[in-house]
């Protein structure tokens, strides 16, 4: 005759939970194998794990993820940069612009007529000085000079609004590349197509490059274009409606910034950085080639400081 089942005897034969010894259980952790009651088990990708193993596994996963990111892998932005909240590049560019403006003001002893300072005249973009005399540094130094406080205030506000957003998308290196190649594009457009009766200066060429980058990002991600349209319309009004604005500089910067961004965002994922560098390099070489060709068509110039109506001016002839 069979004996009837004895639940009490079966429970006494089961091991107690590792964390609750008074709770007999037939379950165990799939990772460490220790007996565990249902309250101490958590569902895992394979079987069930105890709370200690779940906690230890989470810590190990976080360490591996951190090491993965520090090694240069992990989550990337659409431009291939590691995500960062830093806007150091934008802050440095802004600080340099303000510092240069203060130097020109102190030299000229005038807040509104700072263009008469030696630093301004040696850095402003002049066709004769740049092409005829070979003062190529003006391609970039002109982007850090501004005519008066309103000029620099408007440009620095625009830099702060656009730069801090785009730097987080591109990362420091790519953002600086975008900024300075756009500045080169603006200067190239001015030297190739503008008569340059006066000097051209300001960060607006590079800032329009950032605007071109913003336009490409909106199209790439299919974002709401309302903000972009308003920004472009406002800047178009300023560019064509306000006197003494370098239209060619703005257009050159806008187009160059858009092309740089296309090279960065549409580069293949495999060896993305190399493809991006190659695309930007082709653009830079093309602009340098056009400038060299233009230089061969301009007569040689000799530039120096001369006295004119009691003021020391930089003149080429």
- Residues with catalytic function: 204, 250
The residue among 246, 242, 146 whose CA lies nearest residue 196 is: 246
CB contact at 8 A, 111 and 148: yes
How would you label 41-65 residue by residue, b for 16+ Cβ within 10 Å and e otherwise?
beeeeeebbbebbbeeeeeeeeeee
């Amino acid at each position: 005759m069979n004996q009837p089942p004895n639940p009490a005897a079966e429970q006494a034969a089961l091991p107690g939970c590792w964390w609750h010894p008074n709770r007999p259980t037939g379950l165990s952790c799939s990772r460490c194998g220790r007996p565990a009651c249902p309250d101490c088990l958590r569902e895992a990708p394979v079987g069930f794990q105890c709370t200690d193993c779940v906690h230890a596994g989470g810590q190990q996963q976080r360490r591996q993820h951190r090491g993965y990111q520090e090694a240069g892998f992990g989550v990337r932005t659409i431009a291939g940069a590691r995500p960062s909240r830093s806007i150091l590049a934008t802050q440095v560019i802004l600080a340099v612009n303000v510092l240069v403006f203060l130097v020109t003001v102190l030299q000229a002893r005038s807040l509104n007529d700072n263009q008469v300072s030696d630093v301004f005249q040696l850095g402003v973009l002049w066709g004769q000085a740049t092409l005829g005399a070979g003062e190529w540094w003006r391609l970039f130094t002109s982007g850090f000079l501004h005519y008066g406080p309103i000029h620099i205030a408007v440009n620095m506000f625009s830099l702060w609004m656009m730069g801090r957003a785009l730097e987080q998308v591109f990362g420091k290196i790519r953002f600086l590349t975008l900024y300075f190649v756009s500045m080169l594009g603006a200067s190239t457009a001015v030297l190739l197509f503008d008569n340059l009766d006066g000097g051209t200066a300001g960060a607006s060429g590079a800032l329009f490059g950032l605007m071109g980058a913003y336009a490409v990002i909106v199209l790439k991600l299919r974002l709401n274009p309302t903000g972009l349209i308003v920004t472009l319309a406002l800047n178009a009004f300023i560019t064509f409606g306000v006197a003494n604005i370098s239209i060619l500089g703005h257009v050159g910067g806008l187009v160059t910034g858009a092309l740089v961004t296309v090279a960065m965002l549409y580069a293949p994922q495999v060896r993305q950085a190399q493809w991006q560098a190659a695309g930007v390099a082709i653009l830079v070489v093309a602009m340098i080639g056009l400038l060299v060709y233009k230089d061969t068509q301009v007569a040689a110039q000799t530039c120096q400081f001369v006295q004119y109506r009691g003021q020391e001016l930089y003149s080429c002839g």
